Structure 1
Amino acid sequence: MTRLGFLLDSDSCIGCHACTIACKSEHDVPLGVNRTWVKYIETGKFPDASRHFSVMRCNQCEDAPCMTICPTNALFRADNGVVDFQDDNCIGCKSCMNACPYDALFINPETNTAQKCNFCNHRIEVGLEPSCVVVCPTEAIKVVDFDNPSDPVAKIIGREDVAVRSPEQNTKPKVFYKGANQASLDPTRTKINADGMIWADTTPDHRQTPVLDHKGHGDAGIVARTAYTTSHKTTWDMMVSGYLVTKAIAGGIMMMAALMMVLGHADKQAAVGIVPPIVAGIMLALTGGLLVGDLKQPKRFYYLLTKSNFDSWLVKGAYVLSAFAALSAVWFLLGAADATSALQVIAIPTALFGAATAGYTAFLFGQCEGRDLWQTPLLLPMLLARAVIAGASAYAILDVAMDIPSPRAVWWALLGGVIAIAFLSWVELQSKGSRHVEMAIADMTKGAQKQFFQGGLVFGMLLPAVLTIIALAIDIDTPIIVAVAGLSALFGMFLSETSFVRAGQSVPLS
């Protein structure tokens, strides 16, 4: 199989944007989005200042994370090795945008599907070169066939000092840069100054959280300024953080119901057999609504099951949610029939699928190679701890309207979950990760997401812990205090998830 790639010669590039315009014309790309574009950075100070140009585009990765995460095979590898896309399969989930470490994908505002550079495959198939190659006045863009040992461009790559973007991501990109300034290839080493330049205005979509050095000074490691670039809006936002909370409640309350059975309360028909699966069903319906509502092509949501890519955790998650919904429905029917023995049989599998419902997103976020903050191994235990908090909170709130068995066990579960989250969060903030992780944590704790993060600490940890400890210490009879603690915990969970989801996407990738 032929493997095609590009050599981008920054030594020859004059920053004329002919490639950008040719690409827009060739593919009828709407205003505001680009398949390829030219980035400008400036180094040094007057009078010893220099401007550097780098063409930004899809890197046609050998190990393409966008293909792995795409739930409907809308992104696929053509016979020539190019990562191409099929609009008709795309559901607009935007997962590929977070999986790509190169900021190469965008949602076309006219088709509401994900698109990117596809190497002008329609031209390649008839023996023509990509439009950007044809129009480049300095021949700074060259096609390379990596499977042709006599290819002259491949020989240049073999003997010259060339570089690729984000090599640490191990995607094996097939776009090489010759003569490019490293600061141009690493957007964390440049900064957009708010100094009035018309093409480099600072906007919310261009936010760049500074990295702090050991003395707390900002902009550590910045070696150049960005003079011309492009941006993308935040891909996933509050609908995603909301769905993290709703499915945590769904999974958590069934885990708590299974715990009630272990504690010998299988005979409590309402509190164990009927109400928990009803709550889980409502929360699963909200979860599905949030997931479908966040799609750019919501009418195609069933493609998750009909055109499934089983490498994607979006697909695996859909099947986990479906299985958990089925078990919860069976639980409800058995509970309504007061079939205690049968309920005890399905308690463990339901609890396990409840945990899977709450925790599978850790593996989905793990497939988002472009978002280093989400790669933390602590994410799965954090999501499971949040499920315990959510389930205990739901039971504590229900205790106001109905009698639940072993309320103190629920209180202890709530307190234990809060303590676990507090500890895991502390460990995460203390750990040293990549520069991307440092910038994301800075955005979360000191930057644009500071209020959400602090709100999560107060409402999600401090207040629930204090109220629950008071309730346990004075052995109160009223469930109101712990119910308030549960409501606070759920609200704080939403704030924390929002800060985490947004901060992970705050680091520039191009």
Structure 2
Amino acid sequence: MTNYGFIIDNRKCIGCHACTVACKAEHEVPVGVNRTWVKYIEKGEFPDTQRAFHVMRCNHCADAPCVTACPVTALFTRDDGIVDFNWDRCIGCKACTQACPYDALYIDPNTHTAAKCNYCAHRVDVGLEPSCVQVCPEHAIISGDMDDPETEISRLLAREKVTTRRPEKGTKPKLFYINGDEAALTPDDAPVSSDYMWSNQGRGVGHHAPNGHGNGEGSLTQGVIPLGRKPGRDGSRDGSAPEPAGPEPAPKVQPEKARRTYDEPNKGVQWGKEVPAYVWTKAIATGSAAIPFLATGIGVPVADAALWAGALLGLVFMAATGGLLILDLDRPDRFHYVLLRPQWRSWLVKGAYIITGFGGVLSLWVLVKLLATFGLLSPGISQLVDVVLAWPIVALAGATSVYTAFLFAQAKGRSFWQSPALPVHMLVHSAVAGAAALYLASLFLTGLQPLQGALSLILALGLVGGLIVFWAELAVEHPDRDAARAAEMIYKGRYKKLFWGVSVVLGSLVPLALVGLGALVGVPLLIAAAAVLALVGILVTEHAWIEAPQLIPLA
């Protein structure tokens, strides 16, 4: 069976960018984004210096994480090993951009769908070579069937020592480098030492613009992204004024003083404010529903008002969650593809069905209770449905709470999200958010007031558990440098004031003190204040946890 791959022969590459230009012309790639590009690094000090060129693109992995993460099979692996994509199915969820450890995918600013190198599949199908191979003046790009011993690529793989990018990710990449330099293949091994005219590319478009939401209009000099600087690193997201932030963790510098002198435009934060907001609303929804129905399930008497409060909070905040998920899509008009054209290995699909099931069971409970209220069902049926649906609601609430952790785990490009503590993180935040929301509701609903003591205890225990989870996710040894740098960015880099000031102090320690004091002196308003602060702390924490890993360069 055919198994296509690439070799980049760095003994021959002259960094002419002919491959980039040919690719853009062949596929009409917009300005500001690339399917293939050339990365320059320099080493040494004048006059003893050298420059190396490395062509970057999709690795057409044998175990492609973008294919697994895509919820609608917009990305797929062909029988010949080429990882291709279908514009017409993509919903613009950007899961593939987070899953790819090689930063090979982008959101096309014209179609608002994902795109990347597809090995010029339309040319291969008619017996032609990819356009970059054909145009390279030095024959530095070699393509072909790696499993055919008669092909040039197969012979080179057998004869030469080759390297790949990030083999530890387990993706089995099929883009090989002869004389590949580790300083170029590992993103943070060659930091930027200075900026000059040709060391950066002009502003990006779409998600590649300085604020991450540009439309590609304006002058060529407007909003230039200096090489290696992330949006907000030297200024705000719109480039207007600096944001207060601590120093970034210093990347490892090669002993030969490798430095990056030319690279692709920065893609910025692709999962923006909608994602932490949806995690927050989801935590409130699942926790609010789970607590009163769990009490019912274990036989604790709970007033109907408490169950109604949990169900309605669950439905309202799940509706908000769904709205935020759709809002985050670059093609929101196609959101229904997730349910109607599912790719079942994707946790985005599994999560969509779990959310639908959770909302459906809550809606069924509400419907039965309404029918009983209007005398269309007997009171016995109304009481029975509480018992029958209690455990399904609790189970679906738990699954809705934690599925996002598995969705993030599919983002192999973001090592920090691979933490085994992330499911616990999500569960703890759901418990805290649910207890906080219900306690606030108990100030107005007498039926919830008998649960105030239990809600205070759950809130306090959840806050303690949250602090332990912080330690587990930030202080323990991380699997690689990317995860360690993201963690350091949170607790001693640009997010340190938010983390220590809001997540830890205002969002955890102060609420703990207020809960204890409120219980001691019997003042519910103190515990209510703790609940509000805890909810704010969760939102700020999710903002840092989701944004920081996306600021770690992948290419």
Q: TM-score range by the shorter chain?
A: over 0.9
Q: Which residue of 1 aligns with 2:69?
A: 69
Q: Which residue of 2 aligns with 1:470?
A: 517
Cα distance between partner residues in 2 of 1:186 and 1:55 = 13
Cα distance between partner residues in 2 of 1:94 and 1:289 = 17
Cα distance between partner residues in 1 of 2:465 and 2:352 = 28
Instruction: Tell whether the 8 Å contact from 1:449 to 1:502 is kept in structure 2 after alignment.
Output: no
SS in 2 for 1:72: coil
Instruction: Tell whether the 8 Å contact from 2:142 to 2:152 is kept in structure 1 after alignment.
Output: no
Shift of 1:91: 0.2
Q: Which residue of 1 aligns with 2:190?
A: 190
Instruction: Tell whether the 8 Å contact from 2:499 to 2:544 is kept in structure 1 after alignment.
Output: yes
**Change in 2 beyond 3 A, CA 1:206/1:181:** farther
Q: Which residue of 2 aligns with 1:212?
A: none
1:252-271 matched pairs, under 5 angstroms? 252-261=287-296, 266=301, 268-271=303-306
Q: How many pairs does the alignment contain?
A: 500
Cα distance between partner residues in 2 of 1:198 and 1:487 = 50
Cα distance between partner residues in 2 of 1:334 and 1:257 = 17
Cα distance between partner residues in 2 of 1:120 and 1:217 = 39
SS in 1 for 2:259: strand
Shift of 1:319: 0.3
Cα distance between partner residues in 1 of 2:285 and 2:432 = 11
Shift of 1:341: 2.7
SS in 1 for 2:88: helix
Deviations 1:43-73 (A, max 9, x none): 1111111111000000000000000010000
Deviations 1:353-411 (A, max 9, x none): 10111110011011001100000000001100111001100111101211212211100
397-406 or 445-454, which deviates more: 445-454
SS in 1 for 2:401: helix
Q: Which amino acid aligns with 2:431?
A: V
**Is 2:459 aligned against 1:459?**
no
Q: Which amino acid aligns with 1:420?
A: G
SS in 1 for 2:314: helix
Shift of 1:157: 1.3
Cα distance between partner residues in 2 of 1:406 and 1:264 = 14
Q: Which residue of 2 aligns with 1:287?
A: 321
Q: Equivalent of 1:384, from 427, 430, 434?
A: 427
Cα distance between partner residues in 2 of 1:205 and 1:186 = 21
Deviations 1:469-505 (A, max 9, x none): 112233x1x4221111111111110100010101111
Q: Which residue of 1 aligns with 2:79?
A: 79
Instruction: Tell whether the 8 Å contact from 1:443 to 1:506 is kept in structure 2 after alignment.
Output: no
Q: Which residue of 1 aligns with 2:404?
A: 361
1:31-430 matched pairs, under 5 angstroms? 31-196=31-196, 198-200=198-200, 201-202=226-227, 203-205=229-231, 218-222=250-254, 223-230=257-264, 231-261=266-296, 266=301, 268-272=303-307, 274-336=308-370, 337=372, 339-403=382-446, 404=448, 405-430=450-475
Runs of 4+ in 1 over 4 A off after TM superposition: 205-208, 262-267
Shift of 1:285: 0.6
Shift of 1:206: 9.5
Q: Which residue of 2 aligns with 1:495?
A: 540
Cα distance between partner residues in 2 of 1:344 and 1:408 = 23
SS in 2 for 1:406: helix
Q: Which residue of 1 aligns with 2:551?
A: 506
Shift of 1:430: 1.7
Cα distance between partner residues in 2 of 1:328 and 1:195 = 56
Shift of 1:347: 0.7
**Change in 2 beyond 3 A, CA 1:206/1:62:** farther
TM-score, with structure 2 as normaliser: 0.87
Q: Which amino acid aligns with 2:355?
A: L
**Change in 2 beyond 3 A, CA 1:5/1:235:** same
Cα distance between partner residues in 1 of 2:106 and 2:134 = 24
Q: Which residue of 2 aligns with 1:438?
A: 484
Instruction: Tell whether the 8 Å contact from 1:133 to 1:141 is kept in structure 2 after alignment.
Output: yes
Q: Which amino acid aligns with 2:428?
A: A
Cα distance between partner residues in 2 of 1:49 and 1:225 = 11
**Change in 2 beyond 3 A, CA 1:105/1:301:** same
Instruction: Tell whether the 8 Å contact from 1:266 to 1:343 is kept in structure 2 after alignment.
Output: no
Q: Percent identity?
A: 42
Deviations 1:240-282 (A, max 9, x none): 000001111111011111233257554511122x221111111
Cα distance between partner residues in 2 of 1:491 and 1:206 = 22
Q: Which amino acid aligns with 1:457?
A: V
Instruction: Tell whether the 8 Å contact from 1:365 to 1:374 is kept in structure 2 after alignment.
Output: yes
SS in 2 for 1:177: strand
Cα distance between partner residues in 2 of 1:87 and 1:171 = 23
Cα distance between partner residues in 1 of 2:135 and 2:301 = 74
Cα distance between partner residues in 2 of 1:70 and 1:141 = 29
SS in 2 for 1:305: helix
SS in 2 for 1:76: strand
Instruction: Tell whether the 8 Å contact from 1:78 to 1:84 is kept in structure 2 after alignment.
Output: yes
RMSD of aligned Cα (Å): 1.7
Instruction: Tell whether the 8 Å contact from 1:52 to 1:180 is kept in structure 2 after alignment.
Output: no
TM-score, with structure 1 as normaliser: 0.95
**Is 2:482 aligned against 1:482?**
no
SS in 1 for 2:97: helix
Q: Which amino acid aligns with 2:280?
A: V
Q: Which amino acid aligns with 2:26?
A: E
Deviations 1:297-318 (A, max 9, x none): 0000000011100000000000
Q: Which amino acid aligns with 2:492?
A: K
Q: Which amino acid aligns with 2:515?
A: T
Cα distance between partner residues in 1 of 2:355 and 2:489 = 32
Shift of 1:97: 0.1
Shift of 1:158: 1.7
Instruction: Tell whether the 8 Å contact from 2:163 to 2:177 is kept in structure 1 after alignment.
Output: yes
Cα distance between partner residues in 2 of 1:168 and 1:326 = 41
Instruction: Tell whether the 8 Å contact from 1:267 to 1:340 is kept in structure 2 after alignment.
Output: no
Q: Which amino acid aligns with 1:28?
A: E
